[in-house]
Structure 1
Amino acid sequence: MEQPLNQSALALAPNKSRLARTFAKVLHARAATRAAATLDKTRKTKSTEKTKHDIDHEKIRNQAAMDAFIAKVFATISSVKAAYAQLQYAQSPYDPDGIQSADQIMVSELKTLSEFKQLFIKKHLDNNEKAHETTQLQAEIQEQKNLLQMYEITTKTLDSQKKLKDSEIIFLKEKLEEANKENKLIERRLNSSGQFSPQDQKLSLSSLSPKSFVLFLQQMRKSVASFVKFMMSEMEEANWDLNAAASSIQPDVIYRDTSHICYAFESFVYQVMFDGFNNESNVASSSEYFFDKFMELKSIKASEYVKWKPNSTFARFCYSKYLRLVHPIMEFALFGNLNQRNLVGAEKTPETTFFSSFAEMAKRVYLLHCLAFAFDPSKASAFQVRNGSRFSEVYMESVNEEPVKSSPEVSFTVVPGFKMGKTVIQCQVYLT
């Protein structure tokens, strides 16, 4: 038989149920909180890992971009070096098209380098503007310093060119003064006699005499002396040590006057210009042949004749003698380049005062050469005396005052002497 329920037990049952539900809710809330915290932590971990992965990937991309950028810079520099090598190659033999092409390539590649520089600076300023503003300013300051240095060099170059032009003007004034003196002399002769003197009349092969040769020999000496004076002034402008240069030409010579070093330079010019003079005696050419060459060239300006007949005997004479007389080091020191040498090497005529002066001097030497062999090709020759030889008035005359001692010695031959058959024309020597 069922027993009746206790009232107090009925009263406790609902309370226990509510307590259990509350406890369950608390446990559920805690579990949910833990799950949420775990999920949030997992999400943060994944986010951190993702961010780190993105940063590493970004670094790799930036490094690859920088490597590509540097590779482009080096490739452009290599292109500049290649273009410079092409420019050097085109200098000798002279190739104007090759020089222009190489110059265009160099300008283009240098412009590309400048663009790379701007891109590099802009990129770094975007990434770290404050830190790289200083870098850009320093780079700009350095660039301005480089520009200033370039302008200073340009100024020095222009100043050197101005001095060169001033020297050329002085030389041309002297030539003009000399020409005016000759014109006045001719006018006086015309006014006094109404005709030219015999030495000014038109030469003919039958009228040639040793006096005719001596007359042109004097003109040739003046021309060589004028060219040497001009050359020495150019060397002085280029800061050459003229005394050292003279010693290298004629060593162990003691000059009585410092101005006498010009004789050393003259001796060098004569040695080069008259080298091979006697070889014409081996050529089967007649007196008429040499006289015709003499008459053809006598009244024409040398540089114009070379342009007119670049393959003529005289033109080839000018080319070969210039390349031997004007050393590349000298030409580069005088003019800062080898343009004249390259043109002459290509058998072309430089349009400069220096070459015109040289050509006129070469013309006088060539005319004397032709005139000597117009007498008798088999019996004409030039001669010099050995250094240290005793002075003899029969074969020599002194360019300086003779020493006090009774038997002066020859330091060196300045102007060669000539033999034409039985006729001897003295050489000029410098005496110790």
Structure 2
Amino acid sequence: MEPPSAAPQPHFGSVARTITKILRLRRSAASSAGGAANAAPNDYDGIHKFKLCRDFGDYSGVLFEPLGNSFHKPEDEKQQQQQHKNGSSRGREALLANLFASISAVKAAYAQLQVAQSSHDLDQIESADGTIVAELSRISKLKQSYFTNQFDICTNSFLQPVLAAQLQELRHLMETYRVTTHKLEDEVELKDSEILALRAELLESERKTQTWEANLHPNRSLAALDALHLSGLNPTHFLTALRYAFKSIGSFVQLMVREMESAGWNLDAAAGSIQLDVLRQGKPSHRTFAFESYVCSKMFSDFHHQSFGLAALGECSAWDRRQFFDEFTWVKSIAMSQTLGRRPSPVMQFCRAKYLSVVHPKMESSFFGDLDQRATVSSGWGFPDSWFFAGFAEMARRVWLLHCLFFSFEPGTERSIFQVRRGSQFSEVYMESVAAAGDQGDSSEAAESGRAGVVGFTVVPGFKMGRTLIQCKVYLIPSEPRMDGRS
């Protein structure tokens, strides 16, 4: 029998030769780099510290050493990645700049399209429409570039450099502002023409209203003074203006009383704080006389002075009769709303000063909850836009007209304003009872008791113009009996 064959022995020789070749390569690499002295003493341990590169074409057969779980990449690869990153960032910046430039171009073209449509300019409409279509197409291309990561200016011919795109955006914005400014200027001119037309209509309406009022109430409207000349001025004209002013005072007092009622005022207490006599009579309808006396005392204070005793009207102290009459003619021809909207004038200064005098801060605060109207008047820059102030301004205008007419008479004409003190005997020559027209109770009670009425207070002052005497309006009260029993 044949003896069993022996097992094949491992090829230790080939393995040894492979290891020897690796060690030789290691030694030659270390000696060429000048690091033979720093080589590891144990060559066998060095085998485990080196690996061959998988891709010999990329790394030219150079061995690299691992450090933990990370690898050191060559410097040229890092530089390439950094350059690629910087290029992508610049590309995105250029893409955004071009996008904003296109959007601003669309806005400018749309603004031009609106102007062209309003003026029906076909050439401009076609030009603006073409620009919008072209820019929208360009924005579509930018969108595609973003999705395909094509940010390179060199490869994309429609991409502009960043600075050029930003400059183009600014130009489009300036064009948009220019077109918008031109459009707004046209609108302002149109509004101005509409305002002038409405003012003409308002003036015509006011003239018609004055004519109708003159026909309905002769001698109660200033329409009777439209054809007045300085040479033909007489006391009858002044009386007409006085009635006109007194009517406006009554209207404002009614407005003020309504505001008091809305604010929850005690009208009896308010009237009694002004004139206690109206409470003693026990007639609620007489409360209005107390309020009228208060307003008249404020509005006619210093009436006999050319400047009304106001520093703001100091220039009026040097006016002659012609200047007062010209002021009367001008203020009479326009509404107070138009007067207050013009440049500062004496009537505006008068209205401002009298409002601060008549309307107490507590009164305004209770009416409106704040002092905004008073602050506006005090500022000197404007006037409140409210029904309450409009009623006051019209009253101030009519009192100012009366004042101007008062000083339009000849300087040698005797003229004065007067009121009657409390307790004075009633005289039909100088006085007129405010209750005589609407309430005869006072006169009958005085006659039955055998006592003559006396003046409680003056409601509207009286005037003397030459030989003409205009009675003052007074509120009468029963006279106190004398100690000797005679009335």
For the aligned pair, the TM-score class normalised by the smaller chain equals 0.5 to 0.7
| Unmatched runs of 5 consecutive residues or more in structure 1 | 1-177, 190-195
Q: Which residue of 1 aligns with 2:133?
A: none
Q: How many residues are paired up?
A: 248
The one of 260, 266, 282 aligned to 1:235: 260
Structure 1 residue 417 corresponds to structure 2 residue 462: yes
Work out whether residues 376 and 421 of structure 1, in 8 Å CA contact, stay in contact via their aligned partners in 2: no
Work out whether residues 376 and 420 of structure 1, in 8 Å CA contact, stay in contact via their aligned partners in 2: no
The one of 383, 386, 389 aligned to 2:421: 386
Letter in 2 for 1:354: F
Work out whether residues 347 and 400 of structure 2, in 8 Å CA contact, stay in contact via their aligned partners in 1: yes
Q: Which residue of 2 aligns with 1:396?
A: 431
Letter in 2 for 1:273: M
Distance 1:284 1:247, change over 3 A: same
Q: Which moved more, 1:397-406 or 1:229-238?
A: 397-406
The one of 262, 265, 275 aligned to 2:288: 262
Work out whether residues 382 and 417 of structure 1, in 8 Å CA contact, stay in contact via their aligned partners in 2: yes
Work out whether residues 318 and 359 of structure 1, in 8 Å CA contact, stay in contact via their aligned partners in 2: yes
CA distance in 2, matches of 1:240, 1:179: 38
Work out whether residues 285 and 377 of structure 1, in 8 Å CA contact, stay in contact via their aligned partners in 2: no
Q: Which moved more, 1:244-253 or 1:268-277?
A: 244-253
Work out whether residues 304 and 417 of structure 2, in 8 Å CA contact, stay in contact via their aligned partners in 1: yes
Aligned-residue offset at 1:280: 2.1
CA distance in 2, matches of 1:272, 1:197: 23
The one of 309, 312, 321 aligned to 1:287: 321
Higher gyration radius (CA): 2
CA distance in 2, matches of 1:373, 1:313: 15
User: Equivalences for 1:49-88 in 2 at 5 Å?
Assistant: none
Q: Which structure carries more relative contact order (alpha carbon 8 Å, separation 6+)?
A: 1
The one of 351, 358, 376 aligned to 1:318: 351
Percent of paired sites with the same residue: 48
Q: Secondary structure at the match of 2:464?
A: strand
> What CA deviation, in whole Å up to 9, does each residue of 1:224-264 have, x standing for no partner?
00110011001100001111111111124423521111010
CA distance in 2, matches of 1:377, 1:417: 20
Q: Which residue of 1 aligns with 2:76?
A: none
CA distance in 1, matches of 2:282, 2:328: 39
Aligned-residue offset at 1:323: 0.3
**TM-score normalized with structure 1 length:** 0.53
Letter in 1 for 2:360: H
CA distance in 2, matches of 1:197, 1:273: 19
Q: Which residue of 2 aligns with 1:407?
A: 452
The one of 328, 332, 353 aligned to 1:298: 332
Work out whether residues 463 and 471 of structure 2, in 8 Å CA contact, stay in contact via their aligned partners in 1: yes
Work out whether residues 380 and 420 of structure 1, in 8 Å CA contact, stay in contact via their aligned partners in 2: yes
Aligned-residue offset at 1:180: 8.8
Q: Which residue of 2 aligns with 1:13?
A: none
Work out whether residues 249 and 264 of structure 1, in 8 Å CA contact, stay in contact via their aligned partners in 2: yes
Letter in 2 for 1:367: L
The one of 392, 397, 401 aligned to 1:367: 401
Aligned-residue offset at 1:429: 0.5
CA distance in 2, matches of 1:198, 1:225: 19
Structure 1 residue 218 corresponds to structure 2 residue 253: no
Q: Which residue of 1 aligns with 2:201?
A: none
Q: Secondary structure at the match of 2:408?
A: helix
Structure 1 residue 331 corresponds to structure 2 residue 364: yes
Q: Which moved more, 1:376-385 or 1:236-245?
A: 376-385
Work out whether residues 303 and 349 of structure 1, in 8 Å CA contact, stay in contact via their aligned partners in 2: no
Q: Secondary structure at the match of 1:230?
A: helix
User: Equivalences for 1:91-110 in 2 at 5 Å?
Assistant: none
Work out whether residues 210 and 222 of structure 2, in 8 Å CA contact, stay in contact via their aligned partners in 1: no
Q: Which residue of 1 aligns with 2:275?
A: 250
Q: Which residue of 1 aligns with 2:474?
A: 429
Distance 1:261 1:197, change over 3 A: closer
Aligned-residue offset at 1:328: 0.5
Letter in 2 for 1:368: L
Q: Which residue of 1 aligns with 2:126?
A: none
User: Equivalences for 1:138-217 in 2 at 5 Å?
Assistant: 183-184=211-212, 199=224, 201-217=226-242
Work out whether residues 211 and 223 of structure 2, in 8 Å CA contact, stay in contact via their aligned partners in 1: no
1 or 2, which has the higher helix percentage? 1
Distance 1:237 1:420, change over 3 A: same
Structure 1 residue 341 corresponds to structure 2 residue 386: no
Letter in 1 for 2:396: A
The one of 264, 268, 275 aligned to 2:301: 275
Q: Secondary structure at the match of 1:261?
A: helix
Q: Secondary structure at the match of 2:248?
A: helix
CA distance in 2, matches of 1:367, 1:350: 22
Q: Secondary structure at the match of 2:458?
A: strand
Work out whether residues 387 and 412 of structure 1, in 8 Å CA contact, stay in contact via their aligned partners in 2: yes
CA distance in 2, matches of 1:304, 1:244: 38
> What CA deviation, in whole Å up to 9, does each residue of 1:361-404 have, x standing for no partner?
00111101111111145643211100111101111111113523
Letter in 1 for 2:363: M
| Unmatched runs of 5 consecutive residues or more in structure 2 | 1-205, 310-316, 437-441, 478-487
Work out whether residues 228 and 262 of structure 1, in 8 Å CA contact, stay in contact via their aligned partners in 2: yes
**TM-score normalized with structure 2 length:** 0.48
Measured on the aligned residues, the alpha-carbon RMSD in Å equals 2.7
Aligned-residue offset at 1:285: 3.0
> What CA deviation, in whole Å up to 9, does each residue of 1:87-121 have, x standing for no partner?
xxxxxxxxxxxxxxxxxxxxxxxxxxxxxxxxxxx
